[in-house]
Chain A
Amino acid sequence: MLTPEQIETKLDRILLKVQKPGRYVGGELNSIQKDWAQVQIKVALVFPDIYDIGISNVGLKILYDQINQREDALAERAYAPWLDMEALMREHEIPLYALESKHPLRDFDLIGFTLPYETLYTNALNILDLAGIPVRATERDATHPIIIAGGHSATNPEPMHAFIDAFVVGEGEDVIHDILNALQRVKGQAATFERKTLLLELAKIPGVYVPQFYETTYLDDGTVEKTEPTITGVPKVVTKRISAHLPPAPTKFIVPNIEVIHNRVSVEIMRGCTRGCRFCQAGMITRPIRERSIEEVVDAADAAVRASGFEELALMSLSSSDYTYIKELVEAISKRFEGRKLSISLPSLRIESVSVDLMEMLKNHRTPGFTLAPEAASERMRRIINKFIPDEDIINTTREIYRRGWTTIKLYFMIGHPSETLEDVQAIVDLCKRVVEEGRKVAGWKVKLNAGVSTFVPKPQTPFQWVACDTKENILEKQALLKRQLMKDKNIKLSWSKPEDTLLEAWLSRGDRRMSDVIYTAWKNGAKFDAWDEAKKQEAWLPAFAEHGLDPAFYTHRQRRTDEVFPWEHITAAVRKSYLFQDFRQSLEGKIRVDCRLNCYACGILPTFANLRREHPGEGWKCPEVKSPMKSAAHLQIPVVSGAENG
């Protein structure tokens, strides 16, 4: 392996040949470089997309801080090099390195990937390969780093099971310390240790899933029979980890020395969502809802803006206008930042909770624009997906936004639920036209509408996990209708997802263990950057399925049996399968379930985390309080095995 000095020398010869070389050199304000020789545990945190995107990821930032606060550990960063850089790195035999110390990733003890979306899977393989680390977990030995992955895609880790040593299910803030402590323990006991010893230690940590200790068997029809541990001492079902209280928000954001996508401070104001939209995986898997106090958010925002010099503050959550005291929060921020140039953005808003007062306040803060997500436009579809926002609410809200001088509104819709008809799609067209017409009445011809129409993917751990994807023909027909009718108006900009991209996302998110071979072969055939039109290799996928005797339609275009065992059955986000199924049935009947803050539907979060809730009563959580006394000593800890509840 090359030394950091050798890598730097080689870099100097190639960096001027690539676009944006500043992506590959580090040296940013607030990045942390510890003395390599003085620290026992070295962690490389990897966002497997380009620097420009990865640098703003708040999840990795939290882990970066958590690890670097420890005296015994350091955390550095790496991102996926863009195509030009990758080619030169391979040509000049430069292994992928971490930005802070320029040590090759191979020198680290642990590599932690975040996999927030499935189109990063091939990039993760590519990064391991660029780092000179065997891509398959079983081919690694004691000299290789342990490869860990977390993020939303850990709710179905199976397609990546062959490449990742251990998945973290749920929130990483606490579990990262358990993992580092385990590493410290095993390293401290012997200079050389078996990789398996360490993996076994990791598998005992609540929320950690080590796939190689489990085995899946299949039925004759190709569906999963069961996935079970092959050894004792590991849980039958891995339950996600959560933090009872959101830990202090990061305030020392790394300030890139080049322009990136989001130049802003992000403060998470709450985690989880209580709306229960049936298509939304994030809304199902990030429960319970936990809010930060106004004071905490304002102090964190202030500290972070001071430490970064950024000119934009994003108040992050799945549905920021649902934050209980959103008005008071924006007021408090206005007051604290009075006279300082700062724009406030609320990236995800719930239409009915965006009040006129809130708009008035945001008007003074150069809020870039509004993005609202009605998702569906017909009453029938709104009932099916459990996002029931009447047209009048949408029209009123958008009209008031236009009236206050914002000229462009983004509306997000989703097509492709299998029960959707062309009339439902026509309703999207009609609604968009009405939004613009009503906007023109108050703001004239300058009003613009960006309509983003994505295609539904039935995600694991949601009530729609039983549902099939829409056929390519249907999707194309629906998109043709949208294009025909919406692209005539030059003030409406329509964007949509390509059906083949949607299929890829569906295969990767719904796959079982056999998908690992498909991913491997597709990557070998050149697939990477699957979300990038200029880099992806769509044609690599179908031959990869064929090579392994698998039918892609089996994963995407098949309504699941009600008693089907899912590939992700042994992983739970603590929302019970029985609850999801009940909610799926309600969707078929067009029944709405309103905000669960108003009425608890017993999704499974409270029984799983009853003790945490009991220990943390009050307003921080939006679930009902648990008043019953603790039942037994066995309940004192977060349940390691809660599989009995899942079914």
Chain B
Amino acid sequence: MRARIVFTKQGALRYTGHLDLHRLWERAMRRAELPLAYSQGFHPQPKISLASALPLGFSSRAEVLDVRFTDEISTEKIAAQLRDNLPKDIQIKNVDVIDERAPALQTQVLSATYDVHLTEQVNGADLNKKVEALMMSESLPRERRGKSYDLRPLIEMLSVVTQPDGKVWLRMTLAARNGATGRPDEVLVALDLEPESARVERTRLIFQSN
């Protein structure tokens, strides 16, 4: 069977990268004594696929993975057995059964939403102006690893949220398609903000609805 698990990744786990997270899940499934399916061959690989790599240092409220099991088990049982076998900074939010023939998870991600907490003092009104100017611009030519690209079309939504306590957040939706992924820290740089002084949390992954 194929199951889709939505989980959080917080605290210390922010510093665990994509490959390590993959291994972490494999071990968690093993500890939970779930019948994880493996690929054939000399070096069998567990059939776990993570929807979208989360950059190191970001927390997330809703990461998504697909996993295949060799036996049928109820989603409640999957959740219950995993719950006691995960590090404290990962929590299961939801488990669903997925059609075996559904397309690969990674190909279905369209975009991702982020909350960015700014730890340094920022003037909300000024930031609002900058955000407006950024969203009005036609293109934002940038470079990443020696390749030039346009940041502007990758930003689907960007807004400033001022909390009752005066703290300023940014909320954004960025493209997260294969080969067209917007990074929140690049948006911060475009707004003259220091990425180091921001705490970024991925709040949602948006998939193709079919």
Contact = CB atoms under 8 A, between A and B. Distances in A.
Interface of A: 9, 12-13, 15-16, 21-22, 24-29, 255, 257-259, 306-311, 341
B87 interface: yes
Given A15-B57, A257-B87, A27 B31 contact: no
Interface stretch (B20-28, B100-108, B121-129, B151-159): B20-28
B67 to A, nearest CB: 14
Contact of B26 (A28, A258, A309): A309
B20 A259 contact: yes
Given A258-B17, A259-B20, A309-B27, 9 more contacts: A12-B199, A13-B196, A21-B56, A25-B14, A27-B89, A255-B87, A257-B12, A257-B16, A259-B19
A306 B31 contact: yes
Contacts of B69: none
Contact of A16 (B12, B16, B31, B57): B57
A308 B196 contact: no
Interface string B24-53: 101111110100001000001000000000
A12 B24 CA distance: 22
A15 B15 CA distance: 8
Given A15-B15, A29-B86, A258 B27 contact: no
- List 8 tightest A-B contacts by C-beta distance, closest first: A27-B12, A309-B27, A25-B12, A309-B30, A21-B15, A309-B31, A257-B16, A22-B15
Q: B interface, how many residues as a size bin? A: 20 to 34
Nearest to A256: B20
Given A16-B56, A307-B31, A308-B31, A29 B87 contact: yes
Contacts of A9: 119
A310 to B, nearest CB: 7
B196 A28 contact: no
B162 interface: no
A307 B56 CA distance: 27
B34 to A, nearest CB: 11
A24 B16 CA distance: 11
A341 B11 CA distance: 31
Contacts of B27: 255, 308-310
B88 A27 contact: yes
B11 A22 contact: no
B197 interface: yes
B91 to A, nearest CB: 13
Contacts of A27: 11-13, 87-89
B181 to A, nearest CB: 18
13 contacts: A16-B57, A21-B56, A22-B16, A28-B87, A255-B27, A258-B15, A258-B17, A258-B20, A259-B19, A259-B23, A307-B31, A309-B27, A341-B44
A640 B109 CA distance: 69
Nearest to B10: A27
Contact of B13 (A15, A257, A311): A257
A22 B87 CA distance: 13
A264 to B, nearest CB: 12
A16 B13 contact: no
Contacts of A28: 12, 87
B45 to A, nearest CB: 12
A258 B197 CA distance: 25
B12 A26 contact: yes
Contact of B20 (A13, A26, A257, A341): A257
Interface string B66-101: 000000000000000000011111000000000000
Contacts of B24: 255, 257
A21 B12 CA distance: 9
Interface of B: 11-17, 19-20, 23-24, 26-31, 33, 38, 44, 56-57, 85-89, 119, 196-197, 199
Q: Is the interface of B mostly helix, strand, loop or mixed?
A: helix
B78 to A, nearest CB: 16
A307 B84 CA distance: 10
Contacts of A257: 12-13, 15-16, 20, 24, 87
A16 B88 CA distance: 21
A25 B17 CA distance: 13
A21 to B, nearest CB: 4
A343 to B, nearest CB: 12
Contacts of A306: 31, 33
Contacts of B38: 341
A586 to B, nearest CB: 50
A398 B33 CA distance: 38
- Residue among A26, A258, A311 with the highest chain B CB neighbour number at 10 A: A258
Contacts of A21: 15, 56-57
Contacts of B30: 309, 311
Nearest to A309: B27
B104 to A, nearest CB: 24
Nearest to A306: B31
Contacts of A22: 12, 15-17, 20
B89 A13 contact: no
Contacts of B199: 12
B15 A25 contact: yes
Contacts of B86: 29
Contacts of B14: 25
A365 to B, nearest CB: 15
A251 to B, nearest CB: 13
Contacts of A310: 27
B196 A16 contact: yes
Contacts of A15: 15, 57
Contacts of A255: 24, 27, 87
Contacts of B197: 13
Nearest to B56: A16
A518 to B, nearest CB: 38
B7 to A, nearest CB: 14
A22 B57 CA distance: 10
Contacts of B89: 27
Contacts of A26: 12
Contacts of B33: 306
A299 to B, nearest CB: 17
A25 B26 CA distance: 21
A24 B89 CA distance: 15
B100 to A, nearest CB: 23
Nearest to B30: A309
- Residue among B26, B86, B196 with the highest chain A CB neighbour number at 10 A: B196
B136 to A, nearest CB: 31
A310 B85 CA distance: 13
A15 B12 CA distance: 11
A24 B33 CA distance: 30
A14 to B, nearest CB: 8
Nearest to A23: B15
- Residue among B15, B20, B57, B196 with the highest chain A CB neighbour number at 10 A: B15
